[in-house]
């Protein structure tokens, strides 16, 4: 289809009467300005940025919205609708005749506003960043440059407050100062219903294992702690503060502190799914809002791809699972979905939800089907189901590309998505899904480059968790992502299928038990003897109480801390003799390695010492010479034994880059740039 024909079809769609407009009732454009400092891009030319707010309403009786937890308990307007306000940023070519008519809808991560990259501007793509996370804390507090959504608070039918249990944990804290309650890196979004410590429980754990075994537990007397802020100038009991805990005798860094309390006023967070849906729906299908304010790109969007990284990718997976890719008129909203380094579904649709959670102990997110097509769940005793079940029934499923790295396997409980809870068979993928594994990479990939200079040991993700033992992992994902982007555009816009899925499988012998012997991981000087045995973060089957829907990760949690019913056996990729993973897509640096690149890293000190460093990766370099490696007892060949000299290393990189390019996982320009970077690097110079 040529550009003129496509524009004609789009214009015809706008002129035709809509069955029902998207439920954005009022669009307010607050600013309009040149984008990207007025730079011009490819054939698209200059861009402009529009920011503003969308006022929306959803019908709680519509089957597509009724799935939202507590929607019936949300306040309603005179029309019986539930309202929200979401922020957005839209970037588009100034001259829309030069647009590709593809819109990327990016899912913000913890409120961070996003925009399209230069490669997407060069082709005339449109970028939409819109709010979905309504817990109103940390990065999701409304403010400049943030994407937020204001959602209602649920109340009982008689108007009385709703209360429920909440759990929060404090670790690696010391001294007499008070400590805030955090969910990963943001404040816990709910406050206690009372500051009476007799109405809450504060316990300490002397130790914890990664599979949930708790060491000595002690309960702190209510008289020995307070909901308060305290410091040297305000000793215990401090100044009343529902967001912090103050201890009479101070915090011991050798202990973990766990508070269970009654919270009140839960946000109806699931409205965020509807807000995200309606925003894309409005810009794709609507001519104007209810008051006549025009859609600034009316008739210009032919395709939409939703994209989210990490927490935001988990949002996309749950968005699809709950059926939100169908609008209230029955139309498909997004043609493509790209959940990136995201192997679970976000727990946004629960009462007192904490969407900032990252699957530390007692945090939900791995319940129900994590796989795309229907499959049995014998270990947890759940019926056969898949993420795409609802959209399959309504013919509203998008094409899906997902890609991951090693950190998602080791820290973020990925592999049951591939082999089910029993871990005994490769689950089939639908034809509309591609899966790519970027082996031996940390969360999001490293900085890349061809250098023997070590990076500093990484801080373990999460506030105050600790720091890793090994250097940070530089293995990149950037160039792979560039190739995937090009394939995804072709798949959605032109129907050209991307390369077949590539990831470790049981059938290939590349997916094995999570222990050193099964993996074939070598014994390397400086690495704990049994590592990585015991490092994988397993899926835990929790009992959250009868009000929690384990299939949908929705409903009401009433048991905290929850009992652990099952520890799901995890699988991990096999490694080669160097300790690098096999079975993934080709990457130039992995084809010409400088050491062992891991998706795990032992925590160097603190409460979690010796356990997985949250989900950080690591790097253990090769020796430079044979003499150096034999003196240390390193079984891995040295750099000189592998490559000879600098020119030999450059040839190895060029060969690896050419292999990745030939298989469709590296663009031509990136292949040339990587070879040039290896030439400029310091390896064996």
Assign 3-class secondary structure to 281-340.
Answer: HHHHHCCECCCCCECCCCCCCCEEEEEEECHHHHHHHHHHHCCCCECCCCCECCCEEEEE
- Residue 522's pLDDT is 98
Beta partners for 304?
103
- Residue 22's pLDDT is 57
Rg (CA), the chain: 26
Distances in Å between the Cα of 670 and the Cα atoms of 444, 479, 627 are 18, 7, 36
Buried b (16+ CB within 10 A) or exposed e, 543-566: ebeeebbbebbbbbbeebbbebee
**Can you tell me the distance from the alpha carbon of 382 to that of 270, in angstroms, rounded to the nearest whole number?**
23
Question: How many of the other CB atoms lie within 10 Å of CB of 579?
Answer: 25
- Residue 2's pLDDT is 39
- Residue 206's pLDDT is 98
- Residue 4's pLDDT is 39
Distances in Å between the Cα of 633 and the Cα atoms of 532, 580, 593, 601, 636 are 19, 18, 19, 21, 9
- Answer yes or no: are the C-beta atoms of 147 and 123 closer than 8 Å: no
**Can you tell me the distance from the alpha carbon of 473 to that of 446, in angstroms, rounded to the nearest whole number?**
6
**Residue listed under structure tokens 């007499």:** 176
In sequence order, which residues have a C-beta less than 8 Å from that of residue 188 and are 6 or more positions away?
Answer: 137, 166, 168, 181, 182, 243, 354
Beta partners for 375?
385
Question: How many of the other CB atoms lie within 10 Å of CB of 679?
Answer: 15
**Can you tell me the distance from the alpha carbon of 572 to that of 536, in angstroms, rounded to the nearest whole number?**
8
- Residue 678's pLDDT is 98
- Answer yes or no: are the C-beta atoms of 642 and 595 closer than 8 Å: no
The full set of domain ranges for the chain reads 1-93+105-112+122-155+269-297, 163-264, 302-537+572-685
Phi, psi for 280 (deg, rounded to 5) = -65, -40
Q: Does residue 561 have a cis bond before it (omega within 30 degrees)? A: yes
**Can you tell me the distance from the alpha carbon of 433 to that of 500, in angstroms, rounded to the nearest whole number?**
10
Buried b (16+ CB within 10 A) or exposed e, 608-647: beebbbbbbbbbbbbbeeeeebeeeebebebbbebbeebe
**Can you tell me the distance from the alpha carbon of 685 to that of 681, in angstroms, rounded to the nearest whole number?**
8
- Answer yes or no: are the C-beta atoms of 332 and 158 closer than 8 Å: no
- Answer yes or no: are the C-beta atoms of 165 and 558 closer than 8 Å: yes
Question: In residues, how long is the chain?
Answer: 685
Helix (H) or strand (E) holding 662: helix 646-662
pLDDT tens digit string along 384-406?
Answer: 999 999 999 999 999 999 999 99
Greatest Cα pair distance, the chain, in angstroms, is 81
In the chain, which stretches have pLDDT less than 70? Answer: 1-22
């Amino acid at each position: 289809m040529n550009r003129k024909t496509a524009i004609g079809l789009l214009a015809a769609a706008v002129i035709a009467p809509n069955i029902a407009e998207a439920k954005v009732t009022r669009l307010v454009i607050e600013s309009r300005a040149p984008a990207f400092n007025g730079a011009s891009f490819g054939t698209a030319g200059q861009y402009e940025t529009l920011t503003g707010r969308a006022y929306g309403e959803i019908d709680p009786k519509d089957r597509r919205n009724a799935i939202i937890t507590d929607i019936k308990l949300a306040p309603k307007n005179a029309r019986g609708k539930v309202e929200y306000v979401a922020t957005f940023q839209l970037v588009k070519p100034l001259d829309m005749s030069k647009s590709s008519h593809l819109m990327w809808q990016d899912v913000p991560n913890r409120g961070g506003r996003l925009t399209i990259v230069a490669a997407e501007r060069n082709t005339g793509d449109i970028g939409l960043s819109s709010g979905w996370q309504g817990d109103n804390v940390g990065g999701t507090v409304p403010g400049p440059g943030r994407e937020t959504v204001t959602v209602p608070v649920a109340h009982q039918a008689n108007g009385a407050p709703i209360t429920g249990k909440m759990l929060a944990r404090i670790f690696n804290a010391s001294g007499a100062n008070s400590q805030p309650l955090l969910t990963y890196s943001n404040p816990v979004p709910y406050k206690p219903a009372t500051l009476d410590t007799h109405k809450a429980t504060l316990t300490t754990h002397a130790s914890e294992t990664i599979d949930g075994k708790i060491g000595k537990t002690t309960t702190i007397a209510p008289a020995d702690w307070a909901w308060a802020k305290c410091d040297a100038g305000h000793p215990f009991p401090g100044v009343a503060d529902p967001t912090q805990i103050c201890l009479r005798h101070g915090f011991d860094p050798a202990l973990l502190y766990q508070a269970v309390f009654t919270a009140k006023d839960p946000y109806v967070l699931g409205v965020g799914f509807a807000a995200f849906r309606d925003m894309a729906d409005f810009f794709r299908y609507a001519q104007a809002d209810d008051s006549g304010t025009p859609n600034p790109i009316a008739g210009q969007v032919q395709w939409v791809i939703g994209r989210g990284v990490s927490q935001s990718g988990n949002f996309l997976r749950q968005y699809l699972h709950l059926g939100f890719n169908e609008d209230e008129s029955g139309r498909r909203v997004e043609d493509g979905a790209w959940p990136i380094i995201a192997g679970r579904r976000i727990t946004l649709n629960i009462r007192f939800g904490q969407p900032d959670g990252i699957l530390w102990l007692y945090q939900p997110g791995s319940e129900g089907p994590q796989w795309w097509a229907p499959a049995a769940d014998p270990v947890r005793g759940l019926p056969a189901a898949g993420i795409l079940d609802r959209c399959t029934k309504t013919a509203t499923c998008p094409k899906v590309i997902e890609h991951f790295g090693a950190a998602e396997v080791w820290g973020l409980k990925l592999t049951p998505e591939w082999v089910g809870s029993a871990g005994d068979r490769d689950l089939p993928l639908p034809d509309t899904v591609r899966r790519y594994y970027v082996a031996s990479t940390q969360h999001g990939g490293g900085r890349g480059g061809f250098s023997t200079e070590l990076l500093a040991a990484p801080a373990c993700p999460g506030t105050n968790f600790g720091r890793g033992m090994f250097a940070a992992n530089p293995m990149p994902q950037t160039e792979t992502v560039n190739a995937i982007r090009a394939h995804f555009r072709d798949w959605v816009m032109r129907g050209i299928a991307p390369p077949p899925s590539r990831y470790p499988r049981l059938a290939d012998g590349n997916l094995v038990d999570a222990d050193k012997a099964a993996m074939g991981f070598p014994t390397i000087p400086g690495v704990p003897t049994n590592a990585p045995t015991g490092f994988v973060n397993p899926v835990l089957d929790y009992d959250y109480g009868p009000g929690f829907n384990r299939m949908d990760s929705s409903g009401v949690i009433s048991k905290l801390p929850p009992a652990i019913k099952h520890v799901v056996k995890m699988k991990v990729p096999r490694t080669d003799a160097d300790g690098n993973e096999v079975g993934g897509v080709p990457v130039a640096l992995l084809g010409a390695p400088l050491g062992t690149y891991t998706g795990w890293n032992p925590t160097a000190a603190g409460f979690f010492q010796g356990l997985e460093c949250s989900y950080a990766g690591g790097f253990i370099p090769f020796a430079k010479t044979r003499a150096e490696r034999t003196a240390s007892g390193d079984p891995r060949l040295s750099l000189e034994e592998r490559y000879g000299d600098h020119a030999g290393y450059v040839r190895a990189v060029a060969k690896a880059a050419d292999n990745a390019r030939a298989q469709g996982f590296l663009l031509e320009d990136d292949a040339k740039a990587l070879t040039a970077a290896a030439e400029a690097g310091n390896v064996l110079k």
